[in-house]
Amino acid sequence: MNQPAPEFIQAAAKATNAALMARRQSALPRGVSQSHAVFISHASNAEIWDVEGRRHIDFAGGIAVLNTGHSHPEITAAVQRQVDCFSHTCFQVVAYESYVELAEKLNVLAPGAAAKKTLLLSTGAEAVENAVKIARAHTRRPGIIAFGGSFHGRTNLTM
């Protein structure tokens, strides 16, 4: 079912994919890759609509982090509850209970009998970099084994 975009999105979505691609090429460096020459207007569940109104199935799901789909009501409600408290802080500067609570829950779920600790990060590259640093510190060895030809991130240590 093709769902119409909210009016404010429709008003902003007068550009074509080609026109936005030209603007993108002018404003962004070539190193910022893009798989498809399509610009999203809005999304619902596992479907996205481009700025020209064409519907697409979202197989990427935010690179596999969107398994609940776009605009899931429970996720939207949870985000609203959080924003009502505070929208963003850095735990390393100002700590908050829900960070500790999530770490405790993940520690219980992690396999094995050893003591567990959890570090929450924003990106996969950050996670890979920290995993390398933690492994090097724990083993006192500089080398690591990695899969060739795989994507590990865009930071220096992950490339």
- pLDDT, one tens digit per residue, over 46-90 is 999 999 999 999 888 777 677 888 999 999 999 999 999 998 888
Higher-confidence residue of 1 and 46: namely 46
Which pLDDT belongs to residue 7? 61
Helix (H) or strand (E) holding 13: none
Torsion of CA 109, 115, 119, 123, to 10 degrees: -60
pLDDT of 128-153, one tens digit each?
A: 889 999 999 999 999 888 777 777 77
Which pLDDT belongs to residue 24? 93
Residue labelled with tokens 């500067």 = 93
Mean pLDDT for the chain?
Answer: 86
Contacts of residue 32, defined as CB under 8 A and 6 or more positions apart, other chains included, come to: none
Which tokens in the block code for residue 61?
């799901």
**Burial (CB count within 10 angstroms: exposed 0-12, middle 13-18, buried 19+), residue 38:** middle
Which pLDDT belongs to residue 12? 54
DSSP code of 157? G
Give the architecture (CATH level 2) of 7-78.
Alpha-Beta Complex (3.90)
Helix (H) or strand (E) holding 40: strand 40-44
Cβ atoms of 10 and 4 closer than 8 Å: yes
- Asked if residue 96 has pLDDT above 70, the reply is yes
- Asked if residue 20 has pLDDT above 90, the reply is yes
Cβ atoms of 85 and 96 closer than 8 Å: no
Where along the chain do its domains lie? Answer: 7-78, 88-158
pTM over 0.85? The answer is: no
